Structure 1
Amino acid sequence: IHYVTGMKMQYLNRKEKKIMKTSKKDVNSTNGQPVDADLETDMSRPSLSEPSNLLLPEQIEILAKHLPPRTVGYLWTLTFSASKHGMSIKTLYRAMADQNSPVLMVIKNSNGEIFGAVASEPFKVQTSYYGTGETFLFTFSPEFKVFKWTKDNMFFIKGDTDSLGFGGGEGVFGLWVDGDLYHGRSHMCKTFGNQSLSKEEDFIIQDIEIWTFQ
């Protein structure tokens, strides 16, 4: 009898431990603590309207962590691509006409370097600077760096009919592209306290992607 009772107690103990382990797993899931690392990665990776030709999946995940909070949960929509829509800033501005979300601009230059800007609002032609402190610059070359607003000035975005620039101070832009979307330039600027986003301050553009969030 004692032997049977002992076996029954061992069975109950094992069953109790199993129930406790399962309950802990359920609680962790309820509290938003992922049980599976791969599942966590999938949940943190944003959804894109189509694959990016410029950004790797891991680069997308890194950028997503720095985007304005109001973009979280929205589809990344490829609104303009120089390889698809042509190398024209006028076409770029037309693509922005009906947008009302922040904008991610990714540039690949002729040296294969990837960098760009996140703008607080769609690009447009305006006589003065526009935008807010959500705007920032970034580069993946040679490693990822992000340059947020220093609060030194408010020269966020400048859209002309023949160019588009980000940041300013002392007559230079943190990032600038010409009307043909062919030549670009990146200098240190006070708005973002950035270094040159590319190895060479003057560069040739190979492709541009612009993503909106909707």
Structure 2
Amino acid sequence: MGVAYSVGEVDHLYTFFVQWSPEINTKDKKKACRPRYIVGEKNNNRYLVLENDKVDAINKLLIKHDTPAANNWQIITVHDSKRRQSVCSSEGSEVGESDDDLLPVLCDHSHLLDDQHLERIAVHMPARTKGYPWQLAYSTVVHGTSLKTLYRNMAGLDNPVMLVIKDMQNKVFGAFSTEPFRVSDSCYGTGETFLYSFSPDFKAYRWSGENSYFVRGHLESLQIGGGAGGFGLWLDADLNHGASFSCPTFHNQPLSTQQDFVVQDLEVWTLQN
């Protein structure tokens, strides 16, 4: 079995694959794209899960170049992973037919998210986050309404977070951030950050590439996406009022039915590893 590694180290293994055998990740000499993989975990051990036709090639590659990764990771197929997936779920639970079916497993009760919400969001989350449980880091129901408390609860974390908002019109929307929310003099985050909305139908707004105004935290506000005078999502210091405008970062539509909205409930979930 593999040894325990942080989620980020999967990217180092991916870089090795591309460096030593780019043909595995390319097709018709087009630009390389990231292979479909997920990280599985059981009994504190982790393993990389790839599509069936990639496993033999990757195993031979690791052995050929005598890389330490060959000793530290177990490469298995998606089919084999079905019998191992048990994070925060009962041993008798069924596993879906693909890695897209591995929903974010919430280890705490959510007042805002159900399985239908999670099914839609999961498709757009980075592959490296799949198969891991999510823990409630902040909730207005539990912790009150304070941006300072939200930042305080994020202190010391180094994992992606998922923001979920329900406004007074009962519309659910939010953002996935690759970094926890914090006060900063500059913007932070990566191109995996995205906005989403269930108003009226689900839609995710991914990075457009026009700028890198992903997330910026102030004591008096939290901003996600920006440029051209508007924020993709903005929240005030009391987490009571918010706003959502179209912005160049995500080319999004306003996430709520109203550009200025009042928050009914808000939750922030963090990846647990």
TM-score (norm 2): 0.64
Match of 2:132 in 1: 74
- Figure out how many residues of one structure are paired with residues of the other and give that number: 182
Structure (1/2) with the larger helix percentage: 1
| Pick aligned residue for 2:79 from 32, 55, 65 | 32
Change over 3 Å in CA distance of 1:112–1:128 after alignment to 2: same
Match of 1:174 in 2: 232
Match of 2:74 in 1: none
In the alignment, residue 162 of structure 1 is paired with which amino acid? E
Q: Percent identity?
A: 48
Higher relative contact order (CA 8 A, sep 6+): 1
Change over 3 Å in CA distance of 1:98–1:31 after alignment to 2: closer
1:56-109 Cα distance to aligned partner (Å, 9 max, x none): 211112212211222111111011001110100000000100211111000000
Distance 1:67 1:145 in 2: 13
| 2:161 aligned with 1:103 | yes
- Report the secondary structure of 2:245's partner residue: coil
- Aligned residues: CA RMSD: 1.8
- Report the secondary structure of 1:172's partner residue: coil
Distance 1:198 1:121 in 2: 23
Match of 1:45 in 2: 103
Q: CA deviation at 1:39?
A: 4.3
Match of 1:62 in 2: 120
Distance 1:166 1:107 in 2: 13
Q: CA deviation at 1:196?
A: 0.3
Alignment of 1:104-183 (within 5 A): 104-183=162-241
Stretch of structure 1 that moved more, 166-175 or 106-115:
166-175
Match of 1:201 in 2: 259
- Report the secondary structure of 1:32's partner residue: helix
In the alignment, residue 80 of structure 1 is paired with which amino acid? Y
1:16-44 Cα distance to aligned partner (Å, 9 max, x none): xxxxxxxxxxxxxx87298xxx6427962
Match of 2:144 in 1: 86
- Report the secondary structure of 1:70's partner residue: helix
Change over 3 Å in CA distance of 1:39–1:120 after alignment to 2: closer
- Report the secondary structure of 2:152's partner residue: helix
- On the 8 A contact 2:102/2:130 being kept in 1, the answer is no
- Report the secondary structure of 1:99's partner residue: coil
Change over 3 Å in CA distance of 1:123–1:151 after alignment to 2: same
Distance 2:210 2:138 in 1: 31
Match of 1:16 in 2: none
Q: CA deviation at 1:51?
A: 2.3
| 2:235 aligned with 1:188 | no
TM-score (norm 1): 0.81
- Report the secondary structure of 1:92's partner residue: helix
Q: CA deviation at 1:206?
A: 0.5
In the alignment, residue 40 of structure 1 is paired with which amino acid? G
The structure with the largest alpha-carbon Rg is 1
Distance 1:207 1:121 in 2: 22
